[in-house]
Amino acid sequence: MAEREADWQWDLEPDHWIELFLTDAGLSYVGWDYTCQSGGGYTAGFQSREQFLERGPIAEMPEEIAAQVRARIEGAPRGHAVTIELAGPTPDELHLQLDDQPISLTRTTRLFAGSLCAGPHALSGVLLYPGADARGRRNAKRFELCFEVDGPRALAVDESTLAPRWEA
């Protein structure tokens, strides 16, 4: 689904770095940390192209890389404005993948707001809600949905059925 348009990498410290991937879905920040015994890869964040232009990077980033990313985004053709909202209770945590790009969010019903190119897209993941049992385990709802973008759209996802429906 999501093809990498460009990628960048920078060191935070020796054996700890960030990789940034720019795709149609947005910017995925992936961290790699080998400074501790349990080190490895982790999702460092995700943001839409619009969020990057409005607010700047969400992770520590060298100025020269930020300038390259901004120039790349500003020079690219714009996709269609898409908003994906969850209808229903607000989850504590959301671990999603939009076109194979990881997104981790907390306490929100807005799953995505940004631009996507025309064509098929996929959103999947798990929604974590507070648990009701004595051990405090959280309730998890998994979902996977595919949708087509052919113009500006708002997609409402019903939490109980997790079935998408397009709104005008």
CATH node for 80-167: 2.60.40
Domain ranges for the chain: 6-75, 80-167
pTM: 0.71
Q: What is the pLDDT of residue 168?
A: 39
Average pLDDT over residues 131-138: 72
pLDDT in tens, 98-107: 988 888 788 8
Which pLDDT tens digit goes with each residue over 40-97? 888 888 999 999 999 999 878 999 999 999 999 999 887 899 999 988 888 888 889 9
Sheet holding 139-149, edge to edge: 101-106, 93-98, 119-129, 139-149
Strand pairing class (80-87; 40-47): unpaired
pLDDT reported for residue 65: 96
Average pLDDT over residues 132-150: 81
153 Cβ contact list (under 8 Å, min separation 6): 80, 81, 82, 83, 166, 167
